[in-house]
Homo-oligomer: A and B are copies of this chain.
Amino acid sequence: MPSHFYAPTKQDKFAFGIWCLQNRGRDPFGDQTRPELSALECIRGLAQRNCYGFEFHDNDIIPFEADAKQKKQILSDVKKALGDWGIKATMATTNLFYHPLFKDGAFSSTDPAIRLFATQKVMNALDVAAELGTQVFVFWGGREGVEVDASKDPVEATLWFREAINFLCEYVIANDYDIKFSIEPKPNEPRGDLYLPTVGSVLAFIATLDHPDMCGINPETAHIKMAGLNPYHEFAQALDAGKLLDVHLNGQKPLRFDQDLSFGSDDLKDAFFTTKLLVDHKYAGTIGFDAHPYRSEADPWDFVDRNMRTYKIMQEKVRQFNDNKEIQDLLKDIHGANPNLRGLLTKFSKDQAKKLKEMTFDVPALTARRLPYERLDQLLTELLLGVL
């Protein structure tokens, strides 16, 4: 393949969080290593690289302390940029974690004033999102959790969280905004344990909301791997539930601090299967990246390029996998047993149950079936390594 084969186009629907590009390299043990780019610089750089969209927290573009006039000016500048540069604001969210006010939670704070302040902040951010034409609005509960479990009952905390989301759904309806909510799980960091730690917990939480149809999920590779779970399976459950509204792709060594590495930089197989899921199931949302450059980088652009490039390489690998004769023959064989017995569980009837109750099975034969998974996995390995 010529190298430009993997160059991004608008059709790829790539998007980056502005905060990823604004990341200054600060960490718990070290100072800033590079200057913070302005939001407009980030947006322009992404547009120049054929990115479809950008994602933002309210405070990525509008400072916490900005007054109404400043806010208006900033929004006007951003809207002009969208038009001039041909890029969309694909996802918006609220920063409910940076300010010390939120030190013990926003929606799950024990102080009802803080819960109200957080809700108000989201309402304002929703107004901004609507003005910029953003249709996906994310909740990541970065401070919704505890170190000290004695401090609050998780059932009560969940109730407060639910109340806020329900209220905000109504606000969107009342304003007739064309916006869906997307909740992003994470198991821990910055809090000792965060509420809604996993994809499943978010999906289950949504099922308890007043307007589940307005809510989906925004799974992130790294957050999944921080609990040692399998991103392919976790993204799949979201998709199966019809809730895969948005994705945050990146990389992470399992079960350690949140690294936010580039997509595919740690685990090529995970990256392949995540891509395969999105391709096979015709996921139509944006391909969002939520990661940041290594602290040793001077600017974010090599980082931006590589995430998109790796995704496109993986798309091509998926195509090869789906076209490879030996792989597909193996899969046909693996999935081809007893075709006449398919579908017998689809619909229950007493007769069907009786029939099943009386069926006899050739246990030794069922046990003996060959499952050439070492071979299959090796074919994939060699396909990934480009030597098949």
Contacts and interface: CB of A to CB of B under 8 A. Distances in A.
Given A30-B98, A372-B302, A356 B116 contact: yes
B387 A98 contact: no
Contacts of A378: 262, 265, 302, 305-306, 309-310
B147 A369 contact: no
Interface in A251-278: 253-259, 261-262, 264-269, 273, 277
A1 B387 contact: yes
Contacts of A325: none
A72 interface: no
A156 to B, nearest CB: 9
B356 A123 contact: yes
A236 B154 contact: yes
Interface stretch (A47-55, A79-87, A336-344): A336-344
A131 to B, nearest CB: 15
Contact of A200 (B201, B253, B380): B201
A204 interface: yes
Contacts of A297: 371-374
A12 to B, nearest CB: 17
Interface string A220-259: 0000001111101110110111000000000001111111
A110 B296 CA distance: 13
Interface string A199-228: 111111101100000000000000000111
Contacts of A60: none
A292 B280 CA distance: 31
Nearest to A380: B150
Contact of A302 (B142, B174, B298, B374): B374
A190 interface: yes
A188 B142 CA distance: 22
28 contacts: A27-B28, A31-B98, A104-B371, A111-B338, A112-B343, A112-B344, A113-B337, A113-B361, A116-B361, A124-B357, A147-B296, A150-B331, A152-B335, A154-B232, A158-B236, A166-B348, A171-B353, A187-B229, A193-B253, A200-B201, A203-B203, A228-B253, A228-B254, A228-B256, A268-B269, A293-B374, A294-B374, A385-B385
